[in-house]
Structure 1
Amino acid sequence: MKISALWARLRNHPLARVGPGFVTGVADDDPSGIVTYSQAGAQFGLNMLWTMPLSYPLMAAIQVLCAQIGRVTGRGLAANMKASFSPAILFMLVLLLLIANMINIAADIAAMGEVAQLVTGISWHIMTAVFVFSTLALQIFVPYHRYVYFLKWLTLSLLAYVAVLFTIHVPWAEVIWSTFLPKLKLNADTAAVVVGVFGTTISPYLFFWQASQEVEDMKVGGGSGLLYEDAAVGRAEIRRIQWDTWSGMFYSNAAAYFIILTTALTLNAAGIKDITSAAQAAEALRPLAGDFAYLLFALGILAVGLIGVPVLAGSAAYALSEVFGWRASLEDKVTQDKKFYFIIAVSVLGALVIQYSPINPMKALFWSAVINGVVAVPLMVAILVLASRTSVMGSFVAPKGILMLGWLATAVMSIAAVLMLFA
């Protein structure tokens, strides 16, 4: 089959028509997130499954609001915040986001390199560099309207964690019971893992990415028409955003649920209760669930990393560019958006430098989680305020139900931030 014919088939496939919510959801389950979910399952068994049903409506509500702000206004999240709030405060929040994202990218590519070494036998240092330059080249040299199709196909990688469950025995009655009635001791260890799970699930970089991707999709779709220009189109777009985002976040949370479940039924059951890297989680599965389960888990980590790294780098670049008023679009060439692509390059190459420094990427990830947890709260408040203002959203202000879920999510993240800082 010719490449042109294959490309045409990929573009016309139903998966290619899913929106930014699906890609954003999968990016949430990046390699460092998989480490967090694996640790939750290994340390607490089935008793951390409840975190996913609880976090699902909270993260979905916030992401819906971000997507709607982007699509209704035709501007990214940082641009809207700049117009409504203090630029100085916004700059500090975005700068912290950039630092946290760089550390997160470092942890992700370290995990990808280690897992690739397990699968291929090639040094993780070499594989890390390969992943860094590959993802950077794709973002810089491939136009958004083509690059995004590859990201959408990579979302299928999360199915690997569903497939792993078919290689082991699952006591479903016990699983369902533990999901809704867990047996937990309220202590510092429990608090640390719960905070880690929520901090990984509801992350600031996802806010900026999804809003900006709605703007990108709007431009690629053939124009910059805003929703208020056609009420019928506006209502259809809002329904599309809600369906895309709720389904994308469900897919993400379901995969995270299955990761916790898989590691609970294998690692925890075998007495392995401390996971410090994605490679360790994958390797530990091999003697317990077999080579097939190990390979699926490992390949899933590599594939979601290819989504997570560009999203982390892109979200910071969009946010910083909007703060300074720089042109920013993955659809543009480097010569058109030099500063935007420079931030992407700095984020990814800075993460590579961390690999060769005395800094432990996985330990640095803890501080990334702390920064994200602190930054998330004021950002979520700003998102909720923007989404409820008619001066910003016109007739498409967010309904009360979504806003209530958003405020509940903000309260949960506020508690998580306090626990991260003072527990």
Structure 2
Amino acid sequence: MQNRLQALGHRIKEHPLAKLGPGLVTGVADDDPSGIVTYSQAGAQFGFNMLWTMPLTFPLMVGIQTICARIGRVTGKGLAANIKAHFPPVILWLVVILLVIANTLNIAADVAAMGEVAELVLGFNRHVMAACFVILTLLLQIFIPYHRYVVYLKWLTLSLLSYAFILFVVHIDWAQAFKKTLFPSFIWNANSAAIIVGIFGTTISPYLFFWQASQEVEDLHRDGGKSLLEDDSCAKSELQRISWDTWSGMLYSNLSAYFIVLATGATLFVAGIHDIETAAQAAMALRPLAGDFAFELFAIGMLGVGLIGIPVLAGSASYALSEMMGWSWGLEKKWGEAPQFYLTMTLSVGIAIFLQYLSISPMKALVWSAVTNGVIAVPLMFVIMLLSANKAVMGRFSLPTHIKILGWLATALMLIAVTVMFLMF
């Protein structure tokens, strides 16, 4: 019996799905509640005419996230530690401080959206529900070891499937959808530019860079392994795993975002509902058009990805600040082993809860977090690309040409998007 169980365990480990790790959780965290609001607004305002952004951003997401994962696995250090070792302190301080501010605003916007949706479904006060969600995720991160907690996160990624299921209860003109994906038609103005910038900003975000790199280091420490610079005996299999993990995770994320734009374009846009400012508005608007089932699926998806997005946002800020300050860090550690790491996480979500009771508009929080992310993203992406090209950092593990091209393309397009964003303000 024991031999059979061991054989079964070995087969499970060898299954391709078992290789999904940081890339899967990172991809789903990309579709956090603030992202869902952005995608819903794109569908409501422009119908199918913003679907083209999804196939465009997909390879760019893969490129930059693969590079971040490689840096973490090759060096055995997160992004902040590598930046600290190879760039002037002012660059590191500026990036990390802005990241913490942007993540806190993003958490506030996410928990506000979750609170609103939970109030619709359960009837409890939105602020109370928001606080409950934040406290729940914080307690899970602090008191449950990473190797167990990450299992819950992976199961929660299934919540994104709810947006695929919505497509079965609404009428979709698939021919028109595919046509608009390839040949969109919209007027270039402040509104369309804002949506495009918003999609880029929620799809390619700095907190995802830090999270995936640090998660590779978490996995390395948990397994008692060494960085590829220290031991390259498993380099081929590890780099293949990172590639598979990131491509599949980003594909899952990108398809889900595509489905959200598709569903809201087929319902809200067709019904003449073009202005969606909150998740609650999107959910309520879907109910009379697509029925209670679609409404419930939308709500389930929102709450599920929110429970992933909050720990990723809080965790990435804690990773970056801890590496910058030289503190002990890691979700596998207990509070007593990494007090500053967990205190940073606690303060971040605590401030986010406090912002709820100031009645700050979730949309304003989203705007400011998008602006801050835009400020960080471009220089940070340049820094990441320079790190990945530095032999003192990566040794013999230079990037494949196609990943290098995707990384620089993502950087260039983010620069364009941010430039447009500043021209609009």
Q: Same fold (TM over 0.5)?
A: yes
For 2:365 and 2:410, the matched residues in 1 are separated by: 25
Q: Which amino acid aligns with 1:190?
A: S
Residue in 2 aligned with 1:320? 321
Mapped contact 1:87–1:323 kept (Cα < 8 A): no
Say whether residues 1:240 and 2:234 are aligned partners: no
Residue in 2 aligned with 1:280? 281
Mapped contact 1:94–1:316 kept (Cα < 8 A): yes
Say whether residues 1:346 and 2:347 are aligned partners: yes
Residue in 2 aligned with 1:148? 150
CA change 1:63–1:114 in 2 (3 A) is same
Residue in 2 aligned with 1:83? 85
State the 1:229 CA deviation.
4.5
Residue in 2 aligned with 1:134? 136
Say whether residues 1:108 and 2:110 are aligned partners: yes
Q: Which amino acid aligns with 1:136?
A: L
Residue in 2 aligned with 1:406? 407
For 2:359 and 2:422, the matched residues in 1 are separated by: 24
Say whether residues 1:33 and 2:35 are aligned partners: yes
For 1:237 and 1:16, the matched residues in 2 are separated by: 13
Gaps of 5+ in 1: none
Q: Once structures 1 and 2 are overlaid, which stretch shifts more, 302-311 or 134-143?
A: 134-143
Q: Which amino acid aligns with 1:422?
A: L
Say whether residues 1:92 and 2:94 are aligned partners: yes
Count, aligned residues: 415
Q: Which amino acid aligns with 2:61?
A: M
For 2:233 and 2:135, the matched residues in 1 are separated by: 44
Determine helix, strand or coil for the equivalent of 1:170.
coil
| CA RMSD, Structure 1 to Structure 2 (Å) | 1.6
For 1:303 and 1:364, the matched residues in 2 are separated by: 21
Residue in 2 aligned with 1:360? 361
Mapped contact 1:50–1:180 kept (Cα < 8 A): yes
Mapped contact 2:167–2:263 kept (Cα < 8 A): yes
For 2:122 and 2:292, the matched residues in 1 are separated by: 14
For 1:176 and 1:194, the matched residues in 2 are separated by: 19
State the 1:232 CA deviation.
4.3
1:58-117 Cα deviation digits (max 9, x unpaired): 111000000000000000010001100011221111101100100000000000011011
Residue in 1 aligned with 2:264? 263
Mapped contact 1:23–1:151 kept (Cα < 8 A): yes
1:31-80 Cα deviation digits (max 9, x unpaired): 01000000000000000000000000011100000000000000001000
For 1:389 and 1:216, the matched residues in 2 are separated by: 23
TM-score (norm 2): 0.95
For 1:297 and 1:315, the matched residues in 2 are separated by: 26
For 1:125 and 1:191, the matched residues in 2 are separated by: 32
State the 1:128 CA deviation.
0.9
Residue in 1 aligned with 2:73? 71
Matched residues, percent identical? 62
Runs of 4+ off more than 4 Å: 11-17
For 1:187 and 1:361, the matched residues in 2 are separated by: 24
State the 1:359 CA deviation.
2.2
For 2:18 and 2:422, the matched residues in 1 are separated by: 41
Mapped contact 1:16–1:153 kept (Cα < 8 A): no
Residue in 2 aligned with 1:161? 163
Gaps of 5+ in 2: none
Mapped contact 1:16–1:152 kept (Cα < 8 A): no
State the 1:12 CA deviation.
5.8
TM-score (norm 1): 0.96
Q: Which amino acid aligns with 1:308?
A: G
Determine helix, strand or coil for the equivalent of 1:216.
helix
Residue in 1 aligned with 2:396? 395
Q: Which amino acid aligns with 1:206?
A: L
1:179-231 Cα deviation digits (max 9, x unpaired): 0100011111111100000000000000000000000011112x131224444
1:276-300 Cα deviation digits (max 9, x unpaired): 1111111111110111111001010
State the 1:361 CA deviation.
2.5
Residue in 2 aligned with 1:196? 198
CA change 1:413–1:42 in 2 (3 A) is same
Mapped contact 1:16–1:149 kept (Cα < 8 A): no
Residue in 1 aligned with 2:125? 123
State the 1:259 CA deviation.
0.2
Mapped contact 1:377–1:413 kept (Cα < 8 A): yes
For 1:162 and 1:197, the matched residues in 2 are separated by: 19
Q: Once structures 1 and 2 are overlaid, which stretch shifts more, 355-364 or 320-329?
A: 355-364
